[in-house]
Structures are given as structure tokens and as C-alpha cells.
Amino acid sequence: MSDELTSELTAELRELAAAGETPPPLSGAEIRGRAVRRRRHRRTAATVAGASAAAALALVVALNLGGAGTDRNPSPAGSPTGMPSTPATADATVDLSRRVVTVAGRELPLSSGAVETPTAPGRMTVTSKASMKLMPSDDIVGPGYDLKVSWFIELLAPDGKTNYIAALAYDEKAPGAYDRTSGWIGLRMSDAEWLYGQLEVGSVVDIEGAAPTATLEPTPTATGLPGESGATPTATRP
């Protein structure tokens, strides 16, 4: 007798015992026959269930592949592998048309490039800083002197062009009123010092717009040229 049939007989006997421990109304042969029929019934049910699952799977495959005259289902579009990078928010915005630089909600008056040397707009990044920087006077007001410029902030554009922000110490009336630099951003001494503390290497500066129509600027006097604090001549150039 197989283990499966033995288990069936054992289960039948236990059920009968639980029903009152009365002698089974059936003979041993009848009990074995009932167990065999029950096992066959379970096998038949399992076979039918398997056949139904196979038929359902075949139907799904047929629908996906399509028959004659039926268009195939389009493949789903691939999911994007990444999101576009978000541009960094500018730490400072230079508005050439209004002659102001905005930082942390504060507006500082500025003087940008003169008509002959306009300041180019664009996004730039702070690459270096110096509380005092020796600059060729050609980059400031014209030939003649090398100058020490206060609160120097160097800027770099994506195309490799450079510019800078610094104190316009030799003409503090220019910021906010007229444009007279060689293209750089000039601020009053106190504003330049404050901005120097706000921007760090890696800070982003957006330069926008264009300088307004040139206005008549005062003619600089000998005392208004380099020689004041923040723009000191150090040596004459040949």
C-alpha cells in the first residue's frame, strides 16, 4: 500500500473516531475505495486547473503577437534615464540698464563700461578674490600707471572671458550716475567691501541688460585720477 493511500485511510479512520468512536459503517475495502476515488477527484481537478491556466496564457500571447491583419501593439516608450540639470541660482545680479548690482536683497549702485568699452552681459563665476590687487592702468583708466585696486573680485565666463568687480575709488560719484570703466564693474569703496564679504569663490553672477545712453560725465581733475585711497599709482610705465 502506498504512503499516500495509507495517509488517506488514516484520515478516514480519525474522522470516524472523532464522530463518536463508533464502529465504521463501511468495511475496510469500502473505505479504501472511497479514498481512491477522492484522490482521483483531486488529480482531475488539478489537471483541469492546469489546462485552464495554459489556455489563458495562450490567449494572452496570441493577443500580444496579433494575428493576420492585426497591427502589433507598440512597445512602451522608454523611461527617461535622467532629469536635465537645473541652472544654479545667481548669487548676484548686475543690471547694467539700472546701474545696480543686487545681492541678498540689497541694491548697490555701479558704474560699468564706457561707450568705447561696454560691459558684456552673461553669466559669470567668481574665480578669485583679493582685498588689494595690482592692476595695469590700461585695464582701469588708461596708460601711465600700475594701480592697486581694493576689494577685487575676479569673474570668469563659460567662454573663457574674464572680468572683475572692484572699488572705483578714484571716482565715487560715478556708480549709479554714469559709466566710465574699461568694462569692469565699479562700486563705491564701502559697497565694494561689503560685496567682497558676500561673494565667495564659486558664486554665480548674472550680468544683464546694457548700459543706458551715455550721459555727460564730469571731466576728472588731477586729484580725481588714480592716487586716491584704493587706486594708488605704484610705478610709471614706459
Residue 52: band (very low, low, confident or very high) from pLDDT cuts 50, 70, 90: low
C-beta separation of 72 from 66 below 8 A: yes
- Which carries the bigger pLDDT value, residue 15 or residue 1? 15
DSSP 81: S
Cα separation, 41 vs 188, whole angstroms: 99
Cα separation, 125 vs 217, whole angstroms: 31
Cα separation, 184 vs 114, whole angstroms: 10
User: In this structure, how many other beta carbons lie within 10 angstroms of the beta carbon of residue 72?
Assistant: 8
Q: What is the pLDDT of residues 19-36, one digit of tens each?
A: 655 555 556 666 666 666
pTM: 0.56
CA 70 to chain centre: 45
Q: What is the pLDDT of residues 135-157, one digit of tens each?
A: 876 655 555 567 889 999 999 99
Here the cell at position 166 is 572692484
